[in-house]
Structure 1
Amino acid sequence: MAVSFVAPGPCGVAVRDRLKHLTAQDERVLRAVGAHQGALASGDLKARCADGLDHSAETWAARKRELTALSSSRIAGAITKATHDQWALARRCQAAYIQNLATGVKTLRHRLSLPIGQKGTKRAAGGYRSKNEWFRKSRRVAMLEARHAAAVDERRAGRVRVVRGGKRLLNTRHHLSEARLTEGEWRERWEAERWFLAADGESGKRFGNETIRVTPDGEVSIKLPAPLAHLANARHGRYILTARIGFAHRGAEWADRIEANRAVAYRIHLDTDRGRWYLTASWQRSVVQTIPLETARARGMIGVDTNADHFAAYRLDRHGNPVGEPHRFDYDLSGTTTHRDAQIRHALTRLINWAVRVGVAAIGIEDLDFTAEKTRDKHGRRKRFRQLISGMPTARLKARLVSMAAEHGLSVVAVDPAYTSLWGAQHWQKPLATPHRKMSRHDAAGIAIGRRALGHAVRRRTAPPPHDRSDRAGYRTVQAGPGDRGREGTRPLTTDRPPGGPSPSGKRKREPSASKTVRDAPSTQQWVQDLLMCTG
């Protein structure tokens, strides 16, 4: 089992507002600047991909000097930084692709080595059902091995495959009827995605950014690149937009930063579906010190089981005892990415609000990662299961939960997801079910997750003492610690001599009684057992 840990807090903030009441001239300038800088970014990305593993500080400086002559030093720095981030992302995706291919080849090789028709187990798949299927899979493993070898060669050579604007949008060009788009609509989206209207912040400069500047009263101005300086309507080659910005969310925090001339990065983009322009402001926050794990456990925990359509949550006190009733927070992951993202945010908002009301300090979740589970070769014909795990946004969910919980003073404790559903159903589902409370397997898994986050075992009780102890085997457990009050222990002696030994005087205290003699009265001593000892 992996050790539970407190997830680190968010390190950045991003807020967005709409650029309203733009004039036709404003839109023409924004489109011209975006297209010009987008072309520079495409050329810089091509040069970076050509460098491959031979990239160095000298080549970076040379590319930046070439871009500075066509724009400005700050714009050149922003473009080269974005290029390096995109190239690094492509390298990470390439590594994941190679790992996925290797997993598929390993699974296929294992199943091909088994006799046809051999049944599998819970941990490993069996042989293929027929000779025809075995033949087709033998051809598929050869294809995957060829792809794996080609991908490994490309990685060693430093070659990556990157599409500015996105591979999915590029492939949509060949399926316009299915996407319900015309060629003109697709072209507009494609050009808008390839624009570059962004600028990194710089501390010490006026309002934290010299390229895209936003004043405290909401005035937005852009430093135009050298070839477009004739479009300026203000001094020093700047263009001032007619729109005014006023961030409703985190507006006070944003205003404090720009008035102190602290760095704030901006990005302007066009939503082609709505025909609206937006400005996004982002900045880094000081590293939030995560609280110790014991402090997070002090006021109890809420265990959350993540499922395909809902969160199953249960509150536990600091001793691991379930409190109250199970809670369920539903969401729908069908539809577009925007819809799924909104559903996740809404469910997390309800979960966090409930956690604040009950007064806990932390939320326990599973540290899920389905990266190696999505290959079709591992799960065979289980297409619905593959779609299920592929549709669960585990990485985005964890990032959103950590950032949203931090705003309410809550910590997130990540635990090992192994056997939480199995052991939760085995030890908690039936004992907590009543005529008025129906416990599902997911509710019981939430209890298992919460107990693991609190540092307790999932089981409600430990095994009873063995037969060689004085109190013999039975329902009593040895779960309480040695320092707990009312803990279970060996019973004190009821006589003044050890069991089986003679009395101190050497004489019997009582002569053998005759038949039908009144027996000793039951002991009046009461044994008090703390209720907390019944659980770990």
Structure 2
Amino acid sequence: MRNLTAPFVVPGPSGVTVRTRLKQLTAADEEVLRQVGAHLGTLACRDLKARCHDGLGHDAKAWAARKRELTPLSSARWAGAITKATHEQWALARRGALAHLQNLESGVRTLRHRLALPLDQKGSKKAPGGYRSRREWHAKDRRLHVLEDRLARERADWEAGTVHVVRGGKRLARMRHQLPAARLTETQWRERWEAARWFLRADGESGKQYGNETIRIAPDGEVSIRLPAPLKQLANAPHGRYVLTGRVAFAHREQEWTDRVAANRAVAYRIHHDVTRARWYVTASWQKPITRTIPLAAALADGVIGVDTNADHLAAWRLDMHGNPTGSPRRFSYDLTGPAGHRDAQLRHALTRLLHWARTCGVRALAVEDLDFTAEKTREKHGGRKRFRQLVSGLPTGRLHARLVSMADAMGLTVIAVDPAYTSRWGAQHWQKPLTSKNRRTTRHDAASIAIGRRAQGHPLRRRTTPPRAHRSDVHGPWIAQAGGDAPGREGPRRRVPGPRTRSVPPDAERTRATRTPTTVRGVRSEREWVQDPLLLTHQER
């Protein structure tokens, strides 16, 4: 069994992002936005090309030189926003190249190990076995040579600092060669491609009017843009600015955004165009101080809700402060088929129901698994288990956890991350059968949620530690794993119940039976009442 990491309180989000639609735009407004986005997008493409050409030899002087070249063609703030976005995109591509390199190394290592084993040799829990047939062995040997060539190429690019970036997205670029399959015409694809390569993004600056000097949104919803130098003739306001006809209003976190804008605190904006819907959107984002995490014991004072993440639902069960499941399990389903917007809405809806239920239960903490499947869904490790690889790839671990932490912080709840090792196996082994009855069917996922919650509380995952056989009676009293060393009377005898010790006669039998009205005669008291002889009890006790 591998070592388990201790549970920890997940820190809150460090930023906020809200989006709304730009409505009531005229044809002139849309044309100005198109020209500004296309012009700045061209500058961003040139800057990204220069940054990729510098590679690992880039320094602060090269950054300043690139910014000086962009300033006459746009403005100082536009140039700063473009160069910053270029650095972020290059760094993201660099991290992706490292992840791909590690994935190739893992695949090559697995193939070499399995090819060195005899055919049809069984593997162990930590190492796979040999291949099943000579035909499969030959196919995997060819794939090993292919992966070695890719690994050598990627390793050379990594050492040289070469990254491969496509502004607008590699998927959209490859879609150009498969237009009939994508059900797009060349004109429709061209519109999407150009809109994806536009640049309409401006970073905020505290102390400036409404928190942003380039893209400015007033508290009343008025939007104005600082035009680049070559497009000054399009201005309809002083100081080379263009004021849009439409107004914006943020439905989500409106008061927080209004307070920040009124105080002239930094707010970053991004304007983008949805070609499919023919709509314009604006996204506002700003940083916020990270919520101070409370101690783990304080978060678990009122119990915890264990949440098991699955491909199509969230299984949750409430546990009290002693680790005992209370109530019935809950299931929050979602559908991850369809476009990205539909999948994101399904996740938010499921998490909203989960958090509302947690508030009604009076619980302040939710326990989730700290899942990371970056190294568990490779083709070489699970080549024959296609359905398992699809299941693991479909789990929305990263997006779901980010959403959960953000939404829980807004509702005043705490998220606790635990090690996911053996939660499903031990939960089904110790909790599934005891909690299954005629009226309730406990699934494996429900039992796993109990194991997750108990691990967050520090309790063992098994139901009860069985005492020695000689101590299963009243010799030392009830003995459970949750009782601490300082619990008073944890190994003392049971409290004596007053009354006779025989099991056939309840306490105070003489008094109760002498005054009891028989039910065999309708409301008529019997003339002869039977009274228990006290000597008989004494004789029985002996």
TM-score (norm 2): 0.89
8 Å contact 1:462–1:479 — kept in the other structure?
A: no
Distance 1:155 1:363 in 2: 40
Counterpart residue number, 1:217: 220
Counterpart residue number, 1:208: 211
Aligned counterpart in structure 2 of residue 345 of structure 1, from 332, 345, 348: 348
For the residue of structure 2 that corresponds to 1:98, the secondary structure is helix
1:151 aligns with 2:154: yes
Aligned counterpart in structure 1 of residue 175 of structure 2, from 169, 172, 185: 172
Distance 1:42 1:479 in 2: 62
For the residue of structure 2 that corresponds to 1:136, the secondary structure is helix
Deviation at 1:123, TM superposition (A): 3.7
Change (3 A) 1:449 1:469: closer
Counterpart residue number, 2:317: 314
8 Å contact 1:302–1:360 — kept in the other structure?
A: yes
Distance 1:474 1:328 in 2: 38
Distance 1:144 1:489 in 2: 67
8 Å contact 1:22–1:241 — kept in the other structure?
A: yes
Calculate the aligned-residue CA RMSD, in Å: 2.0
Letter in 2 for 1:195: W
Counterpart residue number, 2:303: 300
Counterpart residue number, 1:227: 230
Worse-superposed segment, 276-285 or 113-122: 113-122
Counterpart residue number, 2:502: none
Letter in 2 for 1:73: A
Letter in 2 for 1:250: R
Counterpart residue number, 2:435: 432
Counterpart residue number, 2:52: 49
Distance 1:290 1:490 in 2: 42
* Overall identity of the aligned pairs, in %: 67
1:363 aligns with 2:366: yes
Distance 1:469 1:274 in 2: 70
Counterpart residue number, 1:250: 253
Deviation at 1:125, TM superposition (A): 2.4
1:399 aligns with 2:380: no
Aligned pairs (5 A) from 1:178-197 = 178-197=181-200
8 Å contact 1:477–1:488 — kept in the other structure?
A: no
Counterpart residue number, 1:533: none
8 Å contact 1:465–1:473 — kept in the other structure?
A: no
Distance 1:470 1:405 in 2: 46
TM-superposition CA deviations, 1:158-193 (whole Å, max 9, x none):
110101001111111111111111111111001001
Distance 1:443 1:521 in 2: 49
8 Å contact 1:300–1:318 — kept in the other structure?
A: yes
Deviation at 1:356, TM superposition (A): 0.8
Counterpart residue number, 2:16: 13
8 Å contact 1:464–1:474 — kept in the other structure?
A: no
Distance 1:118 1:294 in 2: 49
Distance 2:430 2:70 in 1: 64
Aligned pairs (5 A) from 1:486-505 = 486-489=489-492
Change (3 A) 1:10 1:478: closer
Distance 2:477 2:291 in 1: 49
Change (3 A) 1:299 1:473: closer
Change (3 A) 1:478 1:275: closer
Worse-superposed segment, 418-427 or 469-478: 469-478
Distance 2:232 2:33 in 1: 13
Give 5+ residue unaligned stretches, structure 2.
Answer: 496-537
Counterpart residue number, 1:286: 289
For the residue of structure 2 that corresponds to 1:203, the secondary structure is coil
Distance 1:364 1:79 in 2: 40
Counterpart residue number, 1:96: 99
8 Å contact 1:470–1:490 — kept in the other structure?
A: no
1:481 aligns with 2:484: yes
8 Å contact 1:201–1:209 — kept in the other structure?
A: yes
Letter in 1 for 2:37: G
Distance 2:311 2:205 in 1: 42
Distance 1:474 1:481 in 2: 15
TM-superposition CA deviations, 1:482-501 (whole Å, max 9, x none):
22234125899xxxxxxxxx
Letter in 2 for 1:345: R
Change (3 A) 1:456 1:186: same
TM-superposition CA deviations, 1:214-273 (whole Å, max 9, x none):
111111000000000010011110000000111111111111111110000001000111
Deviation at 1:367, TM superposition (A): 0.4
TM-superposition CA deviations, 1:192-218 (whole Å, max 9, x none):
010000100000001100000111111
Letter in 2 for 1:61: A
8 Å contact 2:477–2:494 — kept in the other structure?
A: no
TM-superposition CA deviations, 1:460-504 (whole Å, max 9, x none):
112414879999899844541122234125899xxxxxxxxxxxx
Deviation at 1:457, TM superposition (A): 0.9
Change (3 A) 1:110 1:179: same
Letter in 1 for 2:399: R
TM-superposition CA deviations, 1:320-359 (whole Å, max 9, x none):
0001000001111112222211111111111111111111
Letter in 1 for 2:116: S
8 Å contact 1:466–1:472 — kept in the other structure?
A: no
TM-superposition CA deviations, 1:47-101 (whole Å, max 9, x none):
1111111111100000011111110000000001100000110011011101111
Distance 1:472 1:487 in 2: 12
For the residue of structure 1 that corresponds to 2:439, the secondary structure is coil
Deviation at 1:283, TM superposition (A): 0.6
1:198 aligns with 2:206: no
Letter in 2 for 1:413: I
Aligned pairs (5 A) from 1:6-85 = 6-85=9-88
Counterpart residue number, 2:326: 323
1:332 aligns with 2:335: yes
Change (3 A) 1:401 1:478: closer
Letter in 1 for 2:340: T
Deviation at 1:390, TM superposition (A): 1.0
Distance 1:436 1:123 in 2: 40
8 Å contact 1:465–1:478 — kept in the other structure?
A: no
Distance 1:256 1:470 in 2: 66
Change (3 A) 1:474 1:175: farther
Counterpart residue number, 2:510: none
Counterpart residue number, 1:420: 423
Change (3 A) 1:476 1:204: closer
Deviation at 1:388, TM superposition (A): 1.2
Distance 2:494 2:226 in 1: 84
Worse-superposed segment, 454-463 or 160-169: 454-463
Letter in 2 for 1:102: E
Distance 1:7 1:388 in 2: 26
Distance 1:392 1:477 in 2: 37
Worse-superposed segment, 15-24 or 192-201: 15-24
Counterpart residue number, 1:264: 267
Counterpart residue number, 1:500: none
Deviation at 1:12, TM superposition (A): 0.6
For the residue of structure 2 that corresponds to 1:377, the secondary structure is coil
Counterpart residue number, 2:461: 458
Distance 1:444 1:467 in 2: 31
Distance 2:539 2:154 in 1: 87
Distance 2:206 2:175 in 1: 41
8 Å contact 1:464–1:475 — kept in the other structure?
A: no
Between the two proteins, the alignment pairs up a number of residues equal to 497
8 Å contact 1:478–1:488 — kept in the other structure?
A: no
Counterpart residue number, 1:503: none
TM-superposition CA deviations, 1:131-163 (whole Å, max 9, x none):
111011111112112211211111111110101
